Structure 1
Amino acid sequence: MNTIESQNNNALDGPIISTFLKYLLPSTVGMLAMSSASIVDGIFIGNFVGVEALAAVNLIIPLLSVLFGVGLMLAIGGSVRAGKFLGQKKQNAASAIFSKTLIATIVYAIAIIAIGLLLEPILFRLLGAGEILAPLMSEYYRVVLPFFVAQLSTIVLYFFIRLDGFPTLASTALVIGAVLNIALDYLFIAVFDWGLSGAAWATGLSQLLPLLTLLAYFFKKKRKLHFSIKQNNWSEIFHAAYNGLSEFINEISAGIIALIFNLLLISRAGIEGVAAITVLNYLLMLGFMVYFSIADTAQVMISQNFGARNVARTKQLLATTLLVTSVVSVIAILILLCFNESLITMFLDDQGTEKTATMAIEFVYYMWPIFIFAGVNMAISGYLTAIHLPFQSGVVSICRSLIFPATLLITLFMLFDDNRFVIALPIGECLTFLIALAYFIRHKPERAIAEDHVKNG
């Protein structure tokens, strides 16, 4: 029997603002902790290993983004589907999709580790690695890739544990991992002088402790989700993953755009150009992680209220999401414009990096308008995912993260003989906003819930 007695669920009946913040604040802390680990990696690599090492790591990012994207699609798609089941009080069905998502992710991670190591030379050539950067890339890649099992398992548990009403536990695990990563970066890079392999070991080992922390969830008496290895109807995992299509598109597109960026910058500005955009990417990552936290919080709460067909509450949650997103955008723009030089110099040592720093500051002034539209686009895409419209959400995602940026980057690169071609990204976000707004008007909560009622009874 799928329907069992209801338990308290603040996502369905708690105060809007306080419940939203209950989910958002731990998520933001967790996401910033996770991104700060990458940023601290960049600071240690840039200051203790060098600009070439920083560029080498950036060349690997497209590949890791693609591999990570599949795991993220499974995690978010499965948690959204489980959220709808919880809203319908079908806890056994929610537990089943939780179990299948975790099992499928572990199997996938093991497969990509084997394939990724086997095809390393071919992959590096496709990423544009030359004689200087290829050995550095290999030094990092061979260490960090085997830890993907722990990383992807952590991501799946993170999303489902948040969904089940334990956001503090989920975010605490990410914070623990970030703190450990910083400590190991200092030990392995600054003290032991292990170079890029030290950064890779710090990143990999710091994935293990969050996973162990999240396992405490299975000892929670009030949890609604239960794991069982015995499952049937495995085709459901593909339907669930489809719900996470937009997140997969975001990740794989980010990898493709990073690859295009790297190839264009290598041809025009050399290794210093790649290093400069790497520094800017670290800064953009902070803002985008906050946006991601907001969209994720909206998904957790809206998916359950969508399942419960609560129109008024869904509209209130959506308004709260857009308001918080707008406030974050204003703050991000002010910080980027007022403190860009100080932020950039954190990643670079004093020897031979003036050109890199100058280019990074130049990129900031071309790229800051990205924050005007990116947050709203991500919020609307997350809303469409939460109400089980993965195609529409995917269209928004692929427009903002691949179609517009790729087309505009190549076009503007041919039009301009300097670095102004990077304005392709904010222009792409602006064009995407028009599409996202059209989808939002077409699928407002009252209409979306009414249509779901007609479709599913």
Structure 2
Amino acid sequence: MEATQDQDNKALDGPILSTFLKYLLPSIIGMLAMSSASIVDGIFIGNYVGVTALAAVNLIIPILSVLFGVGLMLSIGGSVRGGKYLGEKNTAAASGIFSKTLIAVIGYAIVIIVLGLVFESSLFGLLGATDELIPLMSDYYRVIMPFLLAQLVTIVLYFFVRLDGFPSLAATALVMGSVVNMVLDYLFIGVFGWGLSGAAWATGLSQLLPLLTLLTYFLSRKRKLRFSLRQKNWSEVFKAAYNGLSEFINEISGGIIAFIFNLMLIHRAGVDGVAAITVLNYLLMIGFMIYFSISDTAQVMLSQNFGAQNTQRLKQFLAITFSMTSLLSMFFIAILLLFNESLIYLFVDAEGADKTVAIAIEFVYYVWPIFIFAGANMTISGYLTAIHLPFQSGVVSLCRSLIFPASLLVLLYVMFDDTRFVLALPIGEVLTFALALGFFIRHQPQRAIDDENAKKSDATAKQRLA
């Protein structure tokens, strides 16, 4: 059975474009479903609860970013390691890292849920929440936290199920969750008037269906990955997590940047400014999620071909990835510049939100150049992760998501007395691109494979000497 499965591994021997699209399209559908759920939340909150509620949700983002960052680091790092094992036709090792990653994430989720609820007030204080926002934040936070267990387990299963050749199942799970979230948002917020707690219940309950859907993977006879509680060599989880460092950095840095933005905007523009940046985040989310889908799909292809040492296919998959991100960048820029006002009014009630809308439009004209470089930066970071260069990938991610934007935010905040410090985001992307391009040139496919073989030869020689 295993031999047949290995022969049918399209990532290693299937047509390049059709194989890439087979994985990419379900991934985009799944990621859009995931992001659309958040966007629909924002639409209902902004129109039925108000811009103050939007600001309250945005203040919670730093907490959730940190918590999800660890889950993503374990999940993506584990799946990349598993992909290399599958490329080497070592299904036993791939099953081992799958099992250990899933167990580790479950344990982590239980701990953070308990700690997060116990230290709620302290966390809100650190986020700079005002007396006006704290009750709204609590309404959302206390409901959403217990559901993190289902959300984090879903993340693990999503990445490994896709890795094992079931991209449609993974996408279907996310789509089903998104549809349920939309229906529950309408009922809980629009009909029942439950406010932010209704949004939290809708999001939390809608996460149970994707989890149940992904669990059907264990019923398939065609799957390569097997789950077992009895595992050894738990240090491998930490090694795999290190390989997912860039994704952790992206998530936790996003939370830190959101925290900095919120403090600056509360001081310069009040609650309307925080609500405006929340709307902008929703507008940027779809583009970034599609970039992430492309990068993530490339990782599935690249990690396995890196393990199989197939230089030509590595180059071909990279060419497709860069071409797609470039075309999409032009599309996103056009949409953002031509239809920004109409898009913003989706998230706020037309009456009484003129200041929020005006600030959000101003932000759009500051940040649209992000899309010129963000896709390429995410692709290169994903490539470096796929070829097991977590340090280089982490440096790119750290500079892109934290060092450059944070430094520039502080600098521009001091230089300008208005909201032009938002320009820190596109400038940071430009600087990151220069850094990422240097890493990519240094670690192109053939050289990366040669370096990997040299490491193996050194390790073998040391074992013989020992």
TM-score relative to the length of structure 1 = 0.99
Is contact 1:55–1:271 with CA below 8 Å preserved after alignment? yes
Residue equivalent to 1:300: 300
Instruction: Flag as ranges the 4+ runs of structure 1 deviating above 4 A.
Output: 2-5
Tell me the distance in 2 between the aligned counterparts of 1:259 and 1:428: 17
Residue equivalent to 1:198: 198
Is contact 1:3–1:92 with CA below 8 Å preserved after alignment? no
Residue equivalent to 1:109: 109
Is contact 1:85–1:94 with CA below 8 Å preserved after alignment? yes
Counterpart AA for 2:6 = S
Counterpart AA for 1:146 = P
Residue equivalent to 1:246: 246
Q: Please state how far the C-alpha of 1:453 moved relative to its aligned partner.
A: 1.2
Q: Please state how far the C-alpha of 1:6 moved relative to its aligned partner.
A: 3.0
Tell me the distance in 1 between the aligned counterparts of 2:367 and 2:350: 25
Tell me the distance in 1 between the aligned counterparts of 2:18 and 2:216: 25
User: For 1:308-351, what per-residue CA distance to the aligned partner results, in whole angstroms no more than 9, with x for missing partners?
Assistant: 00000101111111111101111110110011011000000123
1:54-93 matches, cutoff 5 A: 54-93=54-93
Residue equivalent to 2:464: none
Find out whether 1:11 has 2:11 as its counterpart: yes
Tell me the distance in 2 between the aligned counterparts of 1:220 and 1:361: 49
Residue equivalent to 1:382: 382
Residue equivalent to 1:433: 433
Tell me the distance in 2 between the aligned counterparts of 1:5 and 1:290: 29
Residue equivalent to 1:444: 444
Cα 1:243–1:274 change in 2 (3 A) is: same
Q: Please state how far the C-alpha of 1:195 moved relative to its aligned partner.
A: 0.4
Tell me the distance in 2 between the aligned counterparts of 1:13 and 1:222: 18
Q: Please state how far the C-alpha of 1:4 moved relative to its aligned partner.
A: 9.8
Counterpart AA for 2:126 = L
Residue equivalent to 1:128: 128
What's the % identity of the aligned pairs?
73
Counterpart AA for 1:419 = T
Cα 1:19–1:449 change in 2 (3 A) is: same
User: For 1:79-104, what per-residue CA distance to the aligned partner results, in whole angstroms no more than 9, with x for missing partners?
Assistant: 00000000000000000000000000
Find out whether 1:323 has 2:326 as its counterpart: no
Tell me the distance in 2 between the aligned counterparts of 1:81 and 1:43: 38
Is contact 1:37–1:181 with CA below 8 Å preserved after alignment? yes
Residue equivalent to 1:237: 237
Residue equivalent to 1:420: 420
User: For 1:156-185, what per-residue CA distance to the aligned partner results, in whole angstroms no more than 9, with x for missing partners?
Assistant: 000000000000000100000000000000
Tell me the distance in 1 between the aligned counterparts of 2:232 and 2:310: 31
Tell me the distance in 2 between the aligned counterparts of 1:356 and 1:5: 55
Cα 1:235–1:4 change in 2 (3 A) is: farther
Residue equivalent to 1:214: 214
Cα 1:449–1:48 change in 2 (3 A) is: same
Q: Please state how far the C-alpha of 1:64 moved relative to its aligned partner.
A: 0.3
Tell me the distance in 1 between the aligned counterparts of 2:68 and 2:310: 34
Is contact 1:367–1:426 with CA below 8 Å preserved after alignment? yes
Find out whether 1:39 has 2:39 as its counterpart: yes
Counterpart AA for 1:421 = F
Residue equivalent to 1:403: 403
Tell me the distance in 2 between the aligned counterparts of 1:352 and 1:5: 60
Cα 1:429–1:213 change in 2 (3 A) is: same
Tell me the distance in 2 between the aligned counterparts of 1:279 and 1:5: 46
Tell me the distance in 1 between the aligned counterparts of 2:157 and 2:172: 13
Tell me the distance in 2 between the aligned counterparts of 1:315 and 1:454: 21
Cα 1:30–1:132 change in 2 (3 A) is: same
Q: Please state how far the C-alpha of 1:3 moved relative to its aligned partner.
A: 9.4
1:131-150 matches, cutoff 5 A: 131-150=131-150
Residue ranges of structure 2 left out of the alignment (5+ in a row) = 458-466
Is contact 2:5–2:224 with CA below 8 Å preserved after alignment? no
Counterpart AA for 2:363 = F
1:312-391 matches, cutoff 5 A: 312-391=312-391
Counterpart AA for 2:361 = I
Residue equivalent to 1:25: 25
Is contact 2:72–2:155 with CA below 8 Å preserved after alignment? yes
User: For 1:241-265, what per-residue CA distance to the aligned partner results, in whole angstroms no more than 9, with x for missing partners?
Assistant: 0010000000000000000000000
Is contact 1:185–1:202 with CA below 8 Å preserved after alignment? yes
Tell me the distance in 2 between the aligned counterparts of 1:337 and 1:432: 23
SS at match of 1:6: helix
TM-score relative to the length of structure 2 = 0.97
Cα 1:267–1:229 change in 2 (3 A) is: same
Counterpart AA for 2:227 = F
Is contact 1:24–1:297 with CA below 8 Å preserved after alignment? yes
Tell me the distance in 1 between the aligned counterparts of 2:126 and 2:7: 52
Counterpart AA for 1:172 = T
User: For 1:253-288, what per-residue CA distance to the aligned partner results, in whole angstroms no more than 9, with x for missing partners?
Assistant: 000000000000000000000000000000101100
Counterpart AA for 2:436 = A
User: For 1:134-154, what per-residue CA distance to the aligned partner results, in whole angstroms no more than 9, with x for missing partners?
Assistant: 010001000001000000000
Residue ranges of structure 1 left out of the alignment (5+ in a row) = none
Tell me the distance in 1 between the aligned counterparts of 2:407 and 2:353: 31
Q: Please state how far the C-alpha of 1:403 moved relative to its aligned partner.
A: 0.2
Tell me the distance in 1 between the aligned counterparts of 2:454 and 2:216: 41
Tell me the distance in 2 between the aligned counterparts of 1:342 and 1:23: 33
Is contact 1:400–1:428 with CA below 8 Å preserved after alignment? yes
Q: Please state how far the C-alpha of 1:448 moved relative to its aligned partner.
A: 0.1
Is contact 1:5–1:89 with CA below 8 Å preserved after alignment? no
Residue equivalent to 2:270: 270
Q: Please state how far the C-alpha of 1:454 moved relative to its aligned partner.
A: 1.5
Tell me the distance in 2 between the aligned counterparts of 1:350 and 1:323: 39
Is contact 1:4–1:90 with CA below 8 Å preserved after alignment? no
Tell me the distance in 1 between the aligned counterparts of 2:449 and 2:376: 22
